[in-house]
Amino acid sequence: MPNIVKNTTFPGLFSLLAPHSCRGCGHIGQPLCDRCKNYIISQHQNLCPICRQLSPTGKCPNCKNLPPIFIVGNRSDLIGDLIHVFKYNSVRSLAVPLAEILNAILPSVKNPIIIPLPTINRHIRERGFSHTELIAKHLVKLRQNAKLENILSRQRNTVQVGSTRETRLAQATTAYQLDPNIKISPKSTYILFDDVWTTGASLQAAHALLKRAGTENIIITVLALSQ
Ligand SMILES: [Zn+2]
Ligand SMILES: [Zn+2]
């Protein structure tokens, strides 16, 4: 088992020591070494983000109106640190191992259509890339017969960071729209992907839109749960 240093103990230490050292163990080479990647996968225990019950199948028995949800881990753990450096330090190469981790925790489904939750345009300009789309592109390569469809768009450039839970929930219901030209294929499984579950408002709003459009099989997946 690798000697993983929690990012809460030494934030950013390894990136100061070497630009291409593993965020988990400091090993020089890549921002996430295979051992630390496999460690994250082996530690995965699926929880319902609402009631926090163990939910190995993704479908929480307590929260009936939710689709199956798959979450890699907690934002306070290594996975949270990886998302942070990926997004804010633009370590784009992390998209590959992050997609591999998602691929490992997701069930196999027929003809999956992966939908990244759209990032607001200002953030894409600032970072130079859409972080959810980049991971989704790599996830598509790992899944048989998978497709990426950017069928969700943002209605407004609203930022959710710092807003109250109530504001977020209210904003989310009108934040997204589905491409009116898209044809829903009822036999496919739609995989909604975002990096972090905070209130879950955005993902639940996107889920409701897809359902209203006639989608029967929807899965939500995120990398980290914010506590
Ligand atoms: Zn490592
Ligand atoms: Zn639940």
The pLDDT value recorded for residue 187 is 83
Ligand 1 mean position, distance from CA 42 (Å): 14
Tokens coding 223: 């990398």
Contact assessment for residue 194 and residue 132, using Cβ atoms and an 8 Å cutoff: yes
Half-sphere exposure of 144 (CA within 13 A, CB side): 4
Please report, for the chain, the start and end positions of each structural domain, with discontinuous segments joined by +: 47-225
**Ligand 2: distance of its center to the CA of 65 in Å?**
9
Judged by its nearest atom, the ligand closest to the C-alpha of residue 5 is 1
Distance (Å) from CA 146 to ligand 1 centroid: 29
Q: Vertex 205, ends 93 and 195: CA angle to 5°?
A: 15
Query: Cα of 2 to ligand 1 centre, how many Å?
Result: 7
Cα of 19 from ligand 2 centre, angstroms:
40
What does each C-alpha distance from 164 to 133, 159, 169 come to in angstroms?
Answer: 26, 11, 9
Give the ligand with the smallest distance to the CA of 27: 1
At 25, list the tokens: 């163990």
pTM recorded for the entire structure: 0.87
Q: pLDDT tens, 8-26?
A: 444 455 555 566 899 999 9
In the chain (227 residues long), the average pLDDT of successive 10-residue segments reads 50 57 94 97 96 95 94 96 94 96 95 93 88 97 94 72 63 79 88 96 92 93 94
**Which of the ligands is closest to the CA of residue 39?**
1
DSSP the chain: ---PPPTTTSTTHHHHH-TTB-TTT--BSSSS-HHHHHHHHHT---B-TTT--B-TTS--SS-TTSPPEEEEEETTSHHHHHHHHHHHS--GGGHHHHHHHHHHHSPP-SSEEEEEPPPPHHHHHHHSS-HHHHHHHHHHHHSTT-EE---EEESS----TT--HHHHHHHHHHHEEE-TTPPP-TTSEEEEEEEEESS-HHHHHHHHHHHHTT--EEEEEEEEE--
> Which bound ligand lies closest to the C-alpha atom of 23?
1
pLDDT value at position 166?
67
CATH code of domain 47-225: 3.40.50
Q: What confidence tens digit (pLDDT) does each residue in 32-73 have?
A: 999 999 999 999 999 999 999 999 999 999 998 899 999 999
Compute the distance from residue 47 Cα to the ligand 2 centre, in Å: 8
CA of 24 to the centre of ligand 1 (A): 5
